[in-house]
Chains A and B, each alone.
Chain A
Amino acid sequence: MSHDTLSELLSKQFNTSILNCTTDFGMRTYTVALPELYAVLKFLKDDAACNFFFLTDLTGYQSADEQHLYVVYHLHNLQTNQRIRVKSQMPIQKPECHTVTDIWPSANWMERETYDFFGIQFKGHPRLKRILNVDEMDIFPLRKEFPLEDQTRDDKNDKMFGR
């Protein structure tokens, strides 16, 4: 299925929930409203024409203004060899989204990893706990509010390089 047919199909099914659709470096990206995200992903997996049955990757990132978190899914239809990216935005005060572990079992650890690093709560996940970091950790380290280097050091002055 071409990108355009898929876009038409999705906008017919979900109408206003598909907020944005761009193509970067050959990959179509759909930005989906958070309430409909689970339904869209389920449709992409189950619909015979879409058939995105392979979850390549699931991760998150924080927006540049630090006010939002994104969850990003890379889907792959191995039969037609088509890849798409689906993402959704959530406010940082309430980072909650529906789990997809019932659609793709492989999402289990990837959601745990995303929770571990960004604090996104995946509702309905069978066992949402930290996976790579220690259980006692009380921050979500990949958020931008945690700088990599110790900010109290003054021996590493980068001002000369304009940063």
Chain B
Amino acid sequence: MAKINQNAAPTETPDKDRFSTLNLGPTHPATHGIFQNVLKMDGEIILDAEPTIGYIHRAFEKLAERRPYAQITPITDRLNYCSSPINNMGWYMTVEKLLGATLPKRAEYHRVIIMELSRIADHIICNTIIGQDTGATTGFLYLFQFREHIYDIFESICGARLTTNIGRIGGFDREWSTETWNKINDFISRFPQALNEFNSLLERNRIFMDRTINCGPISAERALAYSFTGPNLRAAGVDYDVRVAQPYSSYDDFEFSIPVGSQGDTYDRFTVRQEEMRQSLSIIKQAIAKLPSGAMHADLPDFYLPPKEAVYNDMEALIYHFKIVMGETDVPKGEVYHAVEGGNGELGFYLISDGGRTPFRLHFRRPCFIYYQAYPEMIKGGMLSDAILTMSSMNVIAGELDA
């Protein structure tokens, strides 16, 4: 009988034979966008990840230094394109802060309705895609009807669906039509039931829970260290929401609660977003119920196109029309930071104006650029399939990530 040496050390295999390198992305169908991660794998376990970003960098901050203020709005559309109206409104509010403009309540309430609708659209995309990535296609196809419905509402307000460029600096260009209001009312009456159905498909579903609980978790401490904001931070248990911390656009007029999670895992991020959609719906209902009368825009003739009739018949209006179209409006000097609660976190605008027609410097605080750097830490030690799920639950939007 051969003698077996019990104490022999296992033969060392060099790293390159034991571990494999996997190039996930940049254009992988499972990552929903242009994301590249070079993964170091031990079988199916992820040991390390190295994200590469910048594949769709479009130099927005440089472009903004050449454009008049009104022409920067289309740039903001293309940051987080799942909730463009929030970006638009955030940008308008930054400029209004610099100009010292106060908006009539009516315009602010309309803004709130638009922003909450787009928050719902944003969360629909993110949550249904979490379902999709766990293998549940039903919810994705079912709830996308309602995202379509929201886009129809945007279309009837401003003519565009995805990259909206909605409203103006100072408010809105016109009253919303009856058709728009009918669509909004239709949405409010039909959406809650669909949301509940979607919820019952997944929230207490054994397979879904097994798949998402403890998948890509992050503690509140680490989340704060990585400057997480939005639903991802709230899922980790920190109740920070810009709408409550620094209320803008009359958000302090409405009653709503901030849902928080406890584990900061995929399941918590999912449930936080589900509840946020219900809260958003309640905010929209309150805004419609309390809708004040008055003007739809602030008294800012420099940024508000006069009615066409007036342009043809009135010298003053013609001058303003020309100045707005050519972007010849100077703004005061100053340094402003304004933040709004975007679909995936605190969207900030840091604007330095030297008094000219274009910003001297404009920096976008893009929430997912900042929290995406925690991604390697969140997926380390997990399975490859969990990494895919973690990414979709973090709501990383390539357009915002790469600016």
Residue positions of A touching B, CB distance < 8 A: 24-25, 27, 29, 53-57, 59, 61-62, 64, 72, 74, 78, 81, 83, 85, 104-106, 108-110, 113, 117, 131-134, 141-142, 148-149, 161, 163
A78 in contact with B370 given A57-B365, A64-B354, A132-B403 (CB within 8 Å):
no
Q: Chain B's interface: helix, strand, loop or mixed, by majority?
A: mixed
Are A54 and B227 in contact, with the CB atoms below 8 A? yes
A72 to B362, CA, bound (A): 12
Residues of B within 8 A of A117 (CB): 61
5 interchain residue pairs of minimum CB distance: A106-B227, A132-B54, A61-B361, A132-B57, A57-B365
Give Cα A134 to B365, complex, Å: 21
Q: Does B65 contact A (CB under 8 A)?
A: yes
Closest to B56 in A: A132
**A106 neighbours in B (Cβ, 8 Å):** 225-227, 370-371, 373
- The chain B residues found within 8 Å of chain A, CB to CB, are 53-54, 57, 59, 61-63, 65-66, 97-98, 224-227, 238, 240, 245-246, 326, 328, 334-337, 339, 346, 348, 350, 352, 354, 357, 360-361, 363, 365, 369-374, 402-403
List the B residue with the shortest CB-CB distance to A103.
B225
Task: Name the distance in Å between B275's Cβ and chain A's nearest Cβ.
Answer: 21
User: Chain A interface mostly helix, strand, loop or mixed?
Assistant: mixed
| Contact partners of A132 in chain B: CB under 8 A | 53-54, 57, 402-403
Contacts of B361 in A (CB 8 A): 61-62
- Among B98, B335, B363, point to the contact of A57 (Cβ < 8 A): B363
Known: A131-B53, A149-B66. Is A56-B336 also a contact (CB below 8 A)?
no
Are B334 and A56 within 8 A (Cβ)?
no
Of all chain B residues, which has the CB nearest A110?
B370
Establish whether residues A24 and B350, one from each chain, have CB atoms under 8 Å apart when the complex forms: no
Cβ contact within 8 Å between B63 and A74: no
Whole-angstrom CA separation of A110 from B337 in the bound complex: 17
Q: Among the listed B66, B326, B352, B373, which residue makes an inter-chain contact with A161, where contact means beta carbons less than 8 Å apart?
A: B326
Q: How far is the CA of A7 from the CA of B245 in the complex (A)?
A: 23
| Chain A residues whose C-beta falls within 8 Å of the C-beta of B53 in the assembled complex | 131-132
**B402's closest neighbor in chain A, by CB?**
A132
B65 touches A148 (CB 8 A): yes
User: Which residue of A is nearest B61, CB measured?
Assistant: A142
- Between-chain CB contacts (< 8 Å), 26 pairs: A24-B335, A24-B336, A25-B336, A27-B337, A29-B335, A54-B224, A56-B339, A56-B365, A57-B337, A57-B348, A57-B363, A61-B360, A61-B363, A72-B350, A78-B224, A81-B245, A85-B337, A104-B225, A104-B227, A106-B370, A109-B370, A132-B57, A132-B403, A141-B59, A148-B63, A148-B66
